[in-house]
Amino acid sequence: MCGRYDYTAGEFREIHIRWNLDKDLPLFKPCYNIAPGKDVPVIVREGERNQIKLMRWGLVPSWAKDPSIGNRMINARAVTLAEKPSFKRRLSSRRCLVRANGFYEWRREGKRKFPMHIVRKDRQPFTFAGL
């Protein structure tokens, strides 16, 4: 996964219905350059319903002495997810969906790097899995 993505709130009715949310949405400002360490809205399961909550992007393992390690732990590989101690305990009970409008990948041209904004063809928002 990428190291940056963007999020715009979208239309309340669409979000509420699409993700079967239990309560009204908090007011979130659009952000076009979300980076690790930032508080972001995510969809979590609480009981029988879904809710949107703010959570910090980045995983801080229980053994970490410095919370800034979470800024580097932003990706988990599917092939080792169930094996790595940092991720495996969260896999069964601490999951969420991260709503995005697009994400950024970098293209190198010579010594320079340029951001490429990747979006769905129909420009609709999507979610990716989070722990």
Within 8 A by CB and 6+ apart from 97, the residues are 19, 42, 43, 127, 128, 129, 130
How many Å is the maximal CA-CA distance in the chain?
52
Of 31, 48, 105, 109, the catalytic one is: 105
SS3 content of the chain, % helix, strand, coil (to 5): 15, 40, 45
Catalytic annotation present for 2: yes
Catalytic annotation present for 31: no
Within 8 A by CB and 6+ apart from 28, the residues are 7, 9, 41, 52
Within 8 A by CB and 6+ apart from 122, the residues are none
Q: Which residues are catalytic?
A: 2, 105
